[in-house]
Copies of this chain bind each other. A is one copy, B any other.
Amino acid sequence: MSDVTPLETLGEFGLIRRLQNTVTLRQPSTTLGIGDDAAIITPAPDNNMVVSTDLLVEGVHFDLTFAPLKHVGYKAVAVNVSDIAAMNALPTQIVVGLAIGARYSVEAIEELYEGMRLACEAYNVDLVGGDTTASRGGLTISITAMGQVPNGQAVRRSGAQPNDLICVTGDLGGAFMGLQVLEREKQAFLADPDMQPELGNYGYVVQRQLRPEARMDIVHELKDLGITPTSMIDISDGLASELLHLCAASGAGARIFSENLPIANPTLEAASEFNLDPIMCMLNGGEDYELLFTVPLSDYDKLKHHPDITIIGNMMVKSEGANLVTKAGQPVPLQAQGFTHF
């Protein structure tokens, strides 16, 4: 028996039915999932809904030469959940649109969905709707994520005040270095298809690139600590770009210290091997999906020893601009060099 089933043998409705059977509903707010013209959601009383949408395009956001479809599916959900986390909300539902190129088999799409299913399980999110269609090109994944947060407790980009502490979760630059490693291995593979990829030392950075996690854990921890950030954003395009968004939305300036920026040892080693400046990797390398947020100075004691949150600087008045302070004490204006897809 072959394990490659052409999509056309199932058709759109067959594919939807087959995938529908793998969906588990967990959220009490999900009143009706896949299978009607629309899903029905019953938001918790006195809660806001938050909603965010993201596209992942083959050849632009992911490269199937090195990204397993299961990871692509997981990441597609995780990056959307990350946007919900950045609002201080809990993710509740997603809907998924897939435009699928002719070379994909049913098994390939099931791999993709398996990754999505694992992410839904990890983040306690229900897949409640979707649309599946052919595409003339590669695979395009569209995900819209919804979440809930008690009325008035959503955290925007715009609430940062001068003197607020600037905090970042986890470590930075890893996803970018992972991409460098994968691109190099791809080139080596294209030159010599018999080569075996050497990812051994790069497990951490490759994982950061291929299977990032949304920091829902931090959203829960901040709640437990009684901390409501004054502003928050997730780091998809690089720290510099995101901090400039916070500054612009809040009408404020900022100062971060290069010595304080968190980097993992494997990232540092990879940057060194690739002759890349680790500071630049942290500032401008995208896709870490860590959270960048600000808190009042009075929260300092609650956060100063947190193992997974680093205080990297403080907000300033707008006229001070947004600067990186170097080890030598020199302020350097931050610039948004997050990669653009155009």
Contacts and interface: CB of A to CB of B under 8 A. Distances in A.
12 contacts: A8-B340, A31-B48, A35-B157, A38-B86, A40-B49, A41-B49, A43-B43, A43-B49, A45-B45, A52-B95, A134-B342, A144-B144
A84 interface: yes
A336 B13 CA distance: 11
A43 to B, nearest CB: 5
Interface of A: 7-8, 10-13, 15, 31-32, 35-43, 45, 48-55, 57-61, 83-84, 86-87, 89, 93, 95-99, 128-131, 133-138, 140, 142, 144-147, 151, 154, 156-158, 232-234, 249, 336, 340-342
A140 B135 contact: yes
Contacts of A140: 55, 57, 99, 135, 140, 142
Contacts of A11: 340, 342
A156 B38 CA distance: 9
Contacts of A135: 57, 60, 137, 140
Given A95-B144, A97-B55, A131-B55, A40 B50 contact: yes
B12 A53 contact: no
A129 B52 CA distance: 7
Contacts of A53: 95-97, 129-131, 142, 144
Q: Give the 5 A-B residue pairs with the shortest CB-CB distance, closest first.
A: A137-B137, A142-B142, A38-B52, A37-B86, A144-B144
Given A133-B57, A134-B341, A38 B95 contact: no
